[in-house]
Structure 1
């Protein structure tokens, strides 16, 4: 099928507002994993308790996924959009104000619910607003979200240099939704008339692809959630330096997604997935034995390039296995991958308490190997 003319995709006020708000969501979604090291020191937390904060965000997102459609019907998309942003902001304030693990974990749970509702609303708004060019809008939004990770690293490094602390980096981000609401409070964010979601059985190959995506997501969030803590201990650097080194990982994610989106226009996603898995495995092989910041940075960068491509390419493969049921397939994938985000950081934290973080992170190549096996099965069963 020929590509639509590029001139048919137009970024208007709604598009830019959605991009800005999705970037803010991504900024705060990555924050729990990067501030775990600070929270563990301040609150004297175990690895398991630290992992609970990353898992709490995922749990909240799972709740949001279950209720978003009903809330949209009850409140309307525009009201839900801004209410979700307010909930995410309230959770962020609670996280920065909390001085006990019960309060900080519950605040991250609230962040997850608000963030999940905001994400679902943004994706639906972009898809409906741009119609046949929705793929372009969602791809650009995905890159914008990746850039937000780098902005988070930079802001955390800046607040550390100014001795303002990590809380200032999170609270400063609240200016984005406040400004977005003030300048766009009358912007129409309307949903189309409700339609019946496609139903029916999804093919067996799809479920294998969904398991593959879950393994990929688990590997990604093991690094997102515990990368900074691992580098701090393995490379013997300060917490602030370890967080700064995570710029290599998130920079790799941005670079990998930009490159992957270009290659995906000319190549089938399955071999690109295999290549991304290989790059991610190579990155782990460099990171795991690192004893200094330079080697850790190289390993994190390679991991970012490889892991950053897994979800977009894997989603393309999975949905392609369910023609005519894209909405149903996407919903099932989101549910399974959210569960992976919930489970992976907790698994690493529990194993680290029983052994060490170095040993616990061996689940990453295990997840990558399982994903590679599933990819091979999917490739053989594809029509």
Structure 2
């Protein structure tokens, strides 16, 4: 799955790189998105299996690298165009990265799924607990917030705040810079606190920043708000995903696949809903949808915490069955 996703993405990249016919270029984009999801799912599940209870730190650090990659891509593109090359030449960068990864890490094994004392069913559908789905819903709402702000942020600065187009595009870099800084901070916090305890403070930081960005009377407050909301919102996905995966640690691959599905839906739908409402009303009032999503994130986090406590209470009352190997170990000791 991992290498299939990686080399499948390269197939899409090659289509875009060497084809100048729209039908092949669009097909290449589809292949990149389709098989790139395989890569994301296997990365998240493998990190969860490898690091166990420390998955939140690993997932957050992986998202730091992802943010850096997203920020470096336009810089590479601009640099290559400045050197007189085509914009398509930037696609040689991911090709080189995947080829180098394959050369040096092809034989590195993917970690086995951990049981954590809980049997992993191999037949029939898996029944996921309510706590998982509540954290999953919080994650979907959070991704909708993140992409709603990042997709329409520059438009908001232009049409509502009144900035010039070039200045608005430049200021949006504050949001992506804050995402890198916020995830670096988040990775350190997850080493000291349970990720479930970090969710509401993270949400509060993001909500405060959003209100400043949305309703600030001064340009300076809009800038501060954009940075603060980036600091907070960047950690909602890795934190809520880790919290959901903690509910089913023996099914990290399933948790990762569900996260990719929910995140993809949010990325696809949220900006379109905001744009449609902005067409009917205006962008400032359309951004009230973001506030609703923030409220939903908080509600689902609280409900998930309650469901987790019930889940733990039930688990603590269930009798523990000793396996044959554990009895032998006890006797020998």
Would the TM-score normalized by the shorter structure come out above 0.5?
A: yes
1:373 has 2:329 as partner: no
1:344 has 2:280 as partner: no
**Structure 2 vs 1, CA of residues 155 and 380 (structure 1 numbering), >3 Å: closer, same or farther?**
same
Aligned length: 299
1:176 has 2:102 as partner: no
CA distance in 1, matches of 2:25, 2:209: 32
**Cross-structure match for 1:151:** 72
Q: Deviations over 1:236-255 (max 9, x none)?
A: 22333212111111111111
**Cross-structure match for 2:318:** none
TM-score (norm 2): 0.75
CA distance in 1, matches of 2:173, 2:281: 28
Q: CA deviation at 1:205?
A: 1.9
CA distance in 1, matches of 2:247, 2:46: 25
Which segments of 5 or more consecutive residues in structure 2 lack a partner in the other structure? 114-119, 310-333
Q: Deviations over 1:273-321 (max 9, x none)?
A: 1111111111111111346653332111111111011111111211222
**Cross-structure match for 2:331:** none
1:84 has 2:48 as partner: no
Aligned match of 2:209 in 262, 272, 283?
Answer: 283
Aligned match of 1:200 in 114, 123, 126?
Answer: 126
Is the CA contact 2:202–2:235 (under 8 Å) kept in the aligned structure 1? yes
Aligned match of 2:176 in 250, 267, 274?
Answer: 250
Q: Which has the larger radius of gyration?
A: 2
**Structure 2 vs 1, CA of residues 271 and 154 (structure 1 numbering), >3 Å: closer, same or farther?**
same
Task: Report the secondary structure of 1:279's partner residue.
Answer: helix
CA distance in 2, matches of 1:179, 1:216: 33
TM-score (norm 1): 0.66
Q: CA deviation at 1:217?
A: 1.1
Is the CA contact 1:126–1:134 (under 8 Å) kept in the aligned structure 2? no
The Cα RMSD (Å) is 3.6
**Structure 2 vs 1, CA of residues 125 and 260 (structure 1 numbering), >3 Å: closer, same or farther?**
closer
Which segments of 5 or more consecutive residues in structure 1 lack a partner in the other structure? 1-71
Task: Report the secondary structure of 2:8's partner residue.
Answer: helix
Q: Deviations over 1:192-238 (max 9, x none)?
A: 69998755211122212211111111111101211122112223223
